[in-house]
A = this chain, B = another copy of it.
């Protein structure tokens, strides 16, 4: 517990604020509550952030920036679109594990404020890019094309985002294992080769 200790930097304040937003909700967490949790005066917080809204903005940007970085990195990779999608899915799992409270906060945003609406717009842009990548993979023949690309992207990220519900750092699965599990399920499927589909593929 760091409560009462002086000397939080901006990142430290952000971490405590995100934990409080996740616990009590953004609206229910006043600057007074935050100051109390940090053992700081409100003016000490205002030294780092102009408003509670700015804290939220920075917190959501942390999660969104990391996810956008995953897409940007996959864009620079060569190879088939399916393999770039593999990189995106794995990268997103790593972001989720590394920045669990930040992604949790992002996933709860409902668009009640201008800051939240901007975050939702960035999420939609991210989803759209993932959907394009899926379409590209379907067009080049590396992903099955009998499922709508936007449904594919929603189901894959539905699976990834659900991890925030149960993942606890330090558990049996580390980020690499979990990323491998997600791509194994989504890209390669759970069924063994005795299954109908592989029989079909074998012709």
For A165, list chain B residues within 8 Å (CB): 158
Contact B172 A142 (CB under 8 A): no
Interface flag for A1 (CB, 8 Å)? no
Instruction: List which A153-178 residues lie within 8 A (CB) of chain B.
Output: 154-163, 165-166, 172-173, 178
* Nearest opposing residue in chain B for A178, CB measure: B151
Query: A142 to B191, alpha carbons, bound, how many Å?
Result: 6
Interface size on A, residues (CB 8 A): 43
In the complex, the count of this chain's copies comes to 2
Interface check A114, CB cutoff 8 A: no
> Does A143 lie within 8 Å of B190, measured CB to CB?
yes
Annotate A4-33 by CB proximity to B: 1 below 8 A, 0 otherwise. Answer: 000000000000000000000000000000
- Dominant SS among interface residues on chain A: helix
113-146 of chain A: CB within 8 A of chain B: 141-144, 146
Bound complex: CA A156 to CA B157 (Å): 12
Q: Say yes or no for A197: interface residue by CB 8 A criterion.
A: yes
Give the distance in Å from the alpha carbon of A20 to the alpha carbon of B181 in the complex. Answer: 38
Binding site for B on A (CB under 8 A): 82, 141-144, 146-148, 151-152, 154-163, 165-166, 172-173, 178, 181-182, 184-195, 197-198, 201-202
> How far in angstroms is the closest Cβ of chain B from A152?
6
Q: Which residues of B are found within 8 Å of A190, using beta-carbon distances?
A: 82, 143-144, 147, 152, 186-187, 189
Report the bound CA distance from A19 to B198 in whole Å. Answer: 43
B151 A162 Cβ-Cβ under 8 A: no
In the complex, which residues of chain B have a beta carbon less than 8 angstroms from the beta carbon of A194? Answer: 141-142
A195 in contact with B147 (CB, 8 Å)? no
Q: Which residues of B contact A184 (CB under 8 A)?
A: 144, 146-147
Contacts A155-B162, A162-B162 given: A191-B188 contact, CB under 8 Å? yes
